[in-house]
Amino acid sequence: MRTIFVIAYLALLGLYLFVETGDSFRRRAVNKIVLSSLFLFFGQFWFWTNGYAHGWQFMALVGLFYTCMGDALLLFSFGAGGAAFTVANLCFIGYTGCSLWFGGAFFTVLPWCVGFLVLYLIGFFWTVKTKRIDFEGRTAVALFYLLTVSLHATLGVAAALFLPNTHTRLLGVGLLLFMISDHFLVIYKFKRKQKCMLRANTASYFIGMMLVALSFSVLS
């Protein structure tokens, strides 16, 4: 089943990269929603069948749902899509944080995570102060969103490094690609509206979510 999922998913992703910058909104919308539905369906299926459906682990399931919802809403409203993705980010923070906590590695990785976030804040405010990126009056909203997506990626990578197994490795790399995709989107939205940036955003995001879904295909 994993092989079928990966082949079908990557084929649709290749098609979406082709139609994304075209003139047909309908083709873009259908292709994107089908892609999102695939990672949501298979992620949920494996979540339920491989022993993840317990307590705090449901945060990952909610995160998958709101990520898919964010994809759909983003077709119509940047703000509404961003709100849905923020909820998803918070769910993934909760899931990865609890994974580290119950795995006994939380306090080991905490100093590294805090250090990364401090450096990230310095870089963010330097970017704003030097006007390298103009968030068009939405600096606080952008900062909060980017902090949430960066934090779940940091915790995901930490889980992959300090609690190494197939699930955490796939999840960590997937969340890292999720974070990278949002930074491509920031550049596209607020700096350079180049097609290569949009395609980089799409490719990194959907490959990341494929890996997140696949992370639940292994037994808990």
Q: What is the pLDDT of residues 11-26, one digit of tens each?
A: 999 999 988 887 788 8
Per-residue pLDDT tens over the stretch 171-200: 999 999 999 999 999 999 888 888 889 999
| Domain containing residue 29 | 2-215
Rounded Cα distance, 210 and 50, in Å: 17
Comparing C-alpha atoms, which of 36, 141, 153 is closest to residue 95?
153
Q: Give every CB contact of residue 21 below 8 A, 6+ residues apart in sequence.
A: 195, 198, 199
Is 83 inside any structural domain?
Answer: yes
Domain tally, the chain: 1
Can you give the pLDDT at residue 136?
82
Residue 39 has pLDDT above 70, yes or no: yes
DSSP helix/strand/coil, 109 = helix
Residue 57 has pLDDT above 90, yes or no: yes
Is 19 inside any structural domain?
Answer: yes
Is 137 inside any structural domain?
Answer: yes
Task: Return mean pLDDT, the chain.
Answer: 93
Confidence of residue 220 (pLDDT cuts 50, 70, 90): low
Residue 143 has pLDDT above 80, yes or no: yes
Is 72 inside any structural domain?
Answer: yes
Please give the average per-residue pLDDT across 15-40, as a whole number.
90
Q: What angle do CA 171, 107, 157 make, to 5 degrees?
A: 20
DSSP 8-state code for residue 193: -
139: left (phi over 0), alpha (psi -120 to 50) or beta: alpha
Is 220 inside any structural domain?
Answer: no
